[in-house]
């Protein structure tokens, strides 16, 4: 990545979460309140790969989604270092425009499932985050092709929409899309769930390269060998669980 | 991030006698942003769209638009001529029924070219060439340029209406259920076309729809209306994945999982 921005490295945390609480109120179920997490607090330094651990249903994905602005928070703050000016912005209380700008420039996200847009080719799905940042379409598409090649996606699939791809193929499109930019913060939600051993190794290599460039990664990995290969620290989310208190 | 909204709505209200169609509506639209207004029939979303696009008088409140020359006036401060000029050049309006936005008895080429003549283009060859380019862009064969829209299918008519709106390079487009009257397969093609054009041209869009899948596909931000009030607004994926208001939860729970 020639255009990596090194100015954000070595200037303190890239992500600082404190006092975050989340619950769901189910209005269609008589207004019952489902607490998920409370007092969530942690920080991510450049070059760290922090793994969210703990049993299923403890709130790992919810934390990831809050950091991406996909779930709202009840209280607390989520400070994210902005790629341009290096200032910390509070995504938890930010306007939609702030969240969109942070997603464009500062936070990447690889979700478990690809929400495929009809009629858009795999290569364009992957190139889109670069195009959104003003990179020429051809240049972005070329880079997207290289990412997909590295993840061993058959080139015959590049120009096809991923809607009909297998689970593993979709996941690789998703990974390529998340890794194509140089976002200082990368969120990974079980990125290896549908990958074979070869591609799992490619992903581990890609994660290590990112860390080497100073990217901070926050992830959920149920795959133990991958977790051991990349994690610099594990946070046990059970400590933040609000389920028992309910 | 640009620092000025292109459209700014404050405390908008529209009454019909004692009936309140919409009230207490405030939001901004930023350049390049697609905002979806969702809600069921009768929620006031179409009234709202008509008021903010100057097609209907409001009862109270402000609607300000950022003009190309830098002014930021309330639409009511503009002269009738200025408003008409805006509607013909800087704005577009895509109706649910293409017949409301097209002239059905003149050719496809003339439907597109008419907007160009409205902004002062006079050279017949240039106008015809531009119209032909735009037909291709909305996937209508340029060989159909002399056919009238009455001879077109519903999907083609809708694509022609889109071309007619975009030919003057507007900055802000209002859309009222643009895919509402189309078959599902045709809908996907129109949606896809809209999505690409909006991204390529950097358009700002306010789109009214009752279809949450359309909102998910096209918009970054969503406004949920019920009984004339905004009950929830925010990032589209946030509103759909973590709906807070009882009515939004009901809407989201009503769509089958895909």
Q: What is the pLDDT of residues B104-157, one digit of tens each?
A: 999 999 999 999 998 888 999 999 999 999 999 999 999 999 999 999 999 999
CB contact (8 A) between residue B238 and residue A118: no
State both tokens at A175: 């990974």
Provide the 3-class DSSP secondary structure of residue B29: strand
Name the segment(s) of chain B with CATH classification 3.40.50.300.
27-56+171-258
Measured distance CA(B201)–CA(B190) in Å, rounded: 16
> Could you tell me if B245 and A31 are in contact, meaning their C-beta atoms sit under 8 angstroms apart?
no
- The answer as to whether A11 is a domain residue is yes
**A26 contacts in B (CB within 8 Å)?**
249
Least confident of A124-138, B66-80, B180-194, B228-242: B180-194
- Between chains, do A69 and B246 touch, taking CB under 8 Å as contact? no
Domain membership flag for residue A246 = no
A93 in contact with chain B, both atoms CB, cutoff 8 A: no
CB contact under 8 A, B245 and A24: no
Distance from C-alpha of A88 to C-alpha of B95, rounded to nearest angstrom: 43
ipTM: 0.91
Closest CA to A140 of A162, A120, A160, A123: A123
Kindly report the pTM of this predicted structure: 0.92
Residue A20 lies in a domain: yes
Confirm or reject contact between A224 and chain B (CB < 8 A): no
Once rounded to an integer, what is the mean pLDDT over residues A57-82? 96
The verdict on B231 touching A (C-beta cutoff 8 Å) is: no
CA distance A55 to A243: 12
User: For residue A25, which residues of chain B lie inside 8 Å, CB to CB?
Assistant: 244
- Our measurement of the distance from residue A118's CA atom to the centroid of its chain's CA atoms, rounded to an integer in Å, reads 23
- A3 or B133, which is more confident: B133
- Do B246 and A65 count as a contact with CB atoms less than 8 A apart? no
Please report, for the domain that includes residue A177, its CATH number: 3.40.50.300
Distance between CA atoms of A219 and A17, rounded to whole angstroms? 15
Residue A233 has pLDDT above 90, yes or no: yes
Distance separating alpha carbons of residues B209 and B217, to the nearest angstrom: 12
Containing B231, the helix (H) or strand (E) segment is strand B229-235
Q: What is the pLDDT of residues A178-196, one digit of tens each?
A: 999 999 999 999 999 889 9
Rounded to 5 degrees, φ, ψ at B132 are -65, -40
DSSP assignment letter at A151: T
Over residues A37-46, the mean pLDDT reads 97
Q: What is the pLDDT of residues A148-176, one digit of tens each?
A: 999 999 999 999 999 889 999 999 999 99
> Residue B243 in contact with residue B70, Cβ under 8 Å?
no
CATH class for the domain made up of B27-56+171-258: alpha beta
Please state the domain count of chain A: 1
Instruction: Identify the domain containing residue A87 by its residue range.
Output: 6-240
Q: Token digits for A197?
A: 């051993």
Read off φ and ψ for residue A5, nearest 5 degrees: -95, 105
CA distance A152 to chain B (A): 27
Tell me the pLDDT tens digit for each residue of A5-30: 544 445 799 999 999 999 999 999 99
Please compute Rg for chain A using Cα positions: 18
What are all long-range contacts of A87-95, with beta carbons under 8 Å and residues at least 24 apart?
A88/A16, A91/A67, A92/A20, A92/A66, A94/A69
Q: Do A96 and B234 touch (CB under 8 A)?
A: yes
Up-side HSE of residue B94: CA atoms within 13 Å toward CB? 29
Question: In whole angstroms, what is the distance from residue A204 CA to residue A199 CA?
Answer: 9
Nearest to B192 among A25, A97, A118 (CB): A118
Could you tell me if residue A1 is inside a domain? no
Q: Specify which residues B230 forms β-bridges with.
A: B225
Cβ-contact B59, B82 below 8 angstroms: no
- DSSP, collapsed to helix, strand or coil, labels residue A155 as helix
Closest residue in B to A25 (Cα–Cα): B244
Say whether residue A2 is in contact with chain B using an 8 A CB cutoff.
no
Asked if residues A76 and B248 have their Cβ atoms less than 8 Å apart, the reply is: no
Is residue A245 one of the residues assigned to a domain? no
Burial tier of B18 (Cβ tally within 10 Å: 0-12, 13-18, 19+): exposed
Of B30, B188, B192, the CB nearest to A97: B30
Is A28 in contact with B250 (Cβ distance < 8 A)? yes
């Amino acid at each position: 990545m020639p255009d990596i921005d090194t100015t954000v490295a070595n200037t303190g945390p890239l992500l600082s979460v404190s006092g975050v609480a989340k619950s769901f109120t189910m209005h269609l179920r008589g207004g019952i309140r489902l607490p998920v997490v409370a007092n969530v607090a942690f920080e991510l330094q450049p070059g760290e790969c922090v793994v969210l651990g703990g049993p299923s249903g403890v709130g790992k994905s919810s934390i990831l989604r809050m950091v991406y602005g996909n779930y709202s928070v009840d209280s607390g703050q989520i400070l994210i270092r902005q790629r341009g000016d290096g200032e910390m912005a509070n995504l938890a209380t930010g306007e939609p425009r702030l969240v969109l700008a942070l997603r464009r420039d500062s936070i990447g996200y690889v979700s478990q499932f690809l929400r495929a847009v009809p009629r858009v080719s795999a290569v364009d799905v992957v190139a889109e985050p670069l195009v959104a940042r003003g990179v020429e379409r051809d240049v972005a598409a070329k880079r997207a092709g290289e990412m997909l090649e590295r993840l061993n996606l058959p080139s015959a699939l590049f120009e096809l929409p991923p809607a009909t791809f297998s689970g593993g193929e979709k996941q690789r499109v998703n990974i390529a899309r998340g890794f194509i930019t140089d976002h200082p913060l990368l969120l990974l939600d079980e990125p290896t769930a549908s990958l074979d051993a070869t591609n799992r190794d490619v992903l581990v290599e890609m994660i290590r390269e990112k860390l080497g460039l100073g990217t901070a990664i926050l992830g959920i990995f149920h795959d133990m060998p991958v977790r051991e290969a990349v994690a610099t620290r594990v946070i046990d989310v059970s400590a933040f669980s609000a389920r028992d208190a309910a | 991030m640009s620092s000025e909204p292109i459209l700014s709505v404050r405390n908008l209200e529209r009454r019909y006698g004692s009936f309140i169609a919409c009230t207490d509506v405030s939001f901004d639209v930023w350049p390049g942003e697609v905002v979806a207004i969702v809600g069921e029939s009768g929620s006031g979303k179409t009234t709202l769209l008509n008021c903010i696009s100057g097609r209907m008088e409001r009862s109270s409140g402000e609607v300000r638009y950022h003009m190309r020359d830098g002014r930021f006036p309330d639409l009511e401060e503009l002269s009738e001529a200025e408003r008409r000029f805006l509607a013909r050049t800087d704005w577009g309006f895509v109706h649910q029924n293409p017949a409301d936005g097209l002239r059905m008895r003149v050719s496809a080429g003339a439907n597109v070219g008419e907007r160009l003549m409205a902004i002062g283009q006079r050279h017949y060859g240039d106008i015809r060439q531009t119209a032909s380019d735009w037909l291709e862009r909305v996937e209508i064969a340029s060989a159909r340029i002399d056919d009238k829209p009455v001879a077109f299918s519903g999907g083609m008519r809708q694509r022609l209406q889109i071309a007619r709106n975009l030919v003057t390079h507007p900055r802000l487009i209002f859309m009222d259920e643009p895919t509402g009257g189309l078959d599902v397969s045709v809908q996907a093609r129109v949606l896809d076309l809209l999505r690409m054009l909006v991204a390529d041209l950097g358009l700002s869009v306010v789109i009214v729809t009752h279809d949450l899948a359309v909102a998910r596909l096209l918009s970054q931000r969503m406004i949920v209306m019920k009984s004339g009030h905004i009950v929830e607004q925010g990032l589209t994926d946030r509103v759909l994945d973590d709906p807070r208001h009882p009515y939004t939860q009901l809407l989201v729970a009503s769509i089958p999982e895909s």
